[in-house]
Amino acid sequence: MTHRNAHRTDRSRLLAAAVVLSLVGSLGCQLCFRENNSPPPQFRLAFPPFEGADFCTANPLEGFFLLAMILLQGGDGYTPGSEFLTSVGQTTMPPPGLARIDLTSLDDPQVRFFGRQYMSTDGAVESLGDDPARRYLAGANPAQTVSRRGFFVNPERNTLVVLDGATGDEIRQIRVGSDPRGVAASRDGTRLYVGNSGSGSITPIDLATLEALPSISLDGAGQPADVAISPDGETMYVVNGADSGSLFFIDVASGEILENLRTGRQSTKVTLSPDGTTAYVANTGGGNVAVIDVLSRTVVGTLNVSAANEVVVSPNGETVYVAAGAAAGRVLAFDAASFQEIDEWNVGQAPQGATLSPDGNLLLVSNSGSEELHVIDLAVGEIVAVIDVPLGLGPLVALPVS
C-alpha cells in the first residue's frame, strides 16, 4: 500500500492559527486532518533562542544576518525563542543553518522532540538504567524523576552536544574524534559511545562526569559510521562506512575486534532489535538492509530497499521501518519475520532521520532535502501531519519531560 499525500490544513487556517497562538505567547500550527475526521496528533513547533556557541556559523553572511536581526528586533525581526513572525502575521523559517527545533506533542505534553539543522547526523537519548537510584535526584523528592539528556554528534566541530531533557538547552559540548557520525547509549545509563569516521575510532563518554574517556582505535581497519550497544553492554556494533561496508563486533571491556562481518556497500546505519538479537545494517550503496543474527554473527537475510538511510524497529520487534531515497523519499515497513514489505509512504526529499514516539505509535521522519517533517500514525497506517520546518533538519530525539 502506498500513501502518496497527507491532507494539509489550508493556508488561511494555518496563518490564523499562528496569529492566535502568538497572542497567547505560544507559536504553533494546526496540522492536517485524517480522512475519517478523527482528530490528528497536534504539535507546537518552536525555534528556541541560541546561546553561547550556538551563535557560531560557518557562513559569515548568515552570522551577520543573525546578529543584525538580534540587534534590530524590528517588526519583521527575529525574536529568540519563537518563529519568525512578520508584521502581517505570516510565519517564516529562521535563518538557514541556525535552527534548533523544539517540537511539543499537545496530545502528550510529557514528550518533546528536539533536533538540529545542518548540524547532526545522529542522536541518542540517555538511558536511566535498571537501578532505581538513578531515576531520582539525590536528596530530592522521590517523586521527582531525573530528566533524561539528549545527545547529538556535531561533525563540523568534532564534538558531542549534550541537551537538558527538560528544557532542550545545551549543557555542554564534549570534544571527541574527527568527523563523529554515530552515537549510542548503554542501557545501564553509564556510558555513551561516539563513532568517529575521520579518526577511525570510538570515543566512550562517562555519563556521570560528561567527560571523554580514552578512545578505542580501529587501527586503520575502518571508518565508523554508526554505533549500537548490546543490551548487556558487553558488545559494541560499529558500522564501517567504507565502500566495502562491514559491521565490527567489538568487546567493550578490552576494545578487541571480535569480528568484521561484510554487510554490503556503503553501510551507514546499524539498529538493534529491542531484544538485542538482531542487527539491521543500512547499505546505502548496496540497495538493501542486511539482517544479522548477532549470536551467530551471520547475515540471515536482506530487506530490499534502495538508498536506505535510517532503520527503526517497532517496540515489539515485529516491524522494521526504513527511511530511504534521495530526490523522492520513502518510508517502507517490513515484516521482521518474513523480510517482506508490508507498507510504504511517500515523504520528503532525502529522509535522513526517523524517530519513534516513546509509545511507539508515531513515526517522525525528518527530510534533510525538503522543508517538511512527516508524522506517520502507525496504528492507522497514514501520514497524519506534515510540519513545515527549516531545510536540512537532521534526526530528532524524543525526550520525556519530567
Measuring CA to CA, which residue among 317, 234, 246, 313 is closest to residue 281?
A: 246
Phi, psi for 220 (deg, rounded to 5): 75, 10
- Count of C-beta atoms within a 10 Å radius of residue 335: 14
**pLDDT confidence of residue 112:** 81
**Domain residue extents for the chain:** 2-131+146-400
Q: What's the confidence (pLDDT) of residue 345?
A: 97
Looking at residue 314, its pLDDT comes to 95
- pLDDT the model gives residue 30: 32
Q: What would be the CATH architecture of the domain defined by 2-131+146-400?
A: 7 Propeller (2.130)
For residue 315, give the amino acid letter: P
pLDDT in tens, the chain (402 residues): 555 444 443 333 333 333 222 322 333 333 333 444 556 677 777 766 543 223 222 334 444 444 444 344 333 333 333 332 222 233 344 444 445 778 887 777 778 888 876 667 788 887 766 554 444 433 333 444 456 888 999 888 899 988 887 777 888 999 999 999 999 998 888 899 999 999 999 999 999 899 999 999 988 888 899 999 999 999 999 999 876 789 999 999 999 999 999 998 889 999 999 999 999 999 988 889 999 999 999 999 999 999 999 999 999 999 999 999 878 899 999 999 999 999 999 999 999 889 998 888 999 999 988 989 999 999 999 999 998 888 888 888 887 765
Give me the pLDDT at residue 320, please: 98
> According to the model, what pLDDT value does residue 354 have?
93
Run of H or E residues at 386: strand 382-388
The per-residue pLDDT for 381 is 94
| Predicted pLDDT of residue 401 | 66
Helices (H) and strands (E) in the chain, counts: 2, 32
SS3 100: strand
Is 309 within 8 Å of 284 (Cβ atoms)? yes
Interatomic CA distance for residues 281 and 305, integer angstroms: 12
Residue-wise DSSP of 156-197 = TTTEEEEE-TTT--EEEEEE-SSSEEEEEE-TTSSEEEEEET
Question: Strands (DSSP E) along 222-326, which ranges?
Answer: 224-229, 235-240, 244-251, 257-265, 267-272, 278-283, 288-293, 298-304, 308-313, 319-324
Residue-level pLDDT at 301: 97
Q: How much is the CA Rg of the chain, to the nearest whole Å?
A: 21
Q: What are the phi and psi torsion angles at 135 (to 5°)?
A: -90, 0
Q: What is the pLDDT of residue 145?
A: 44
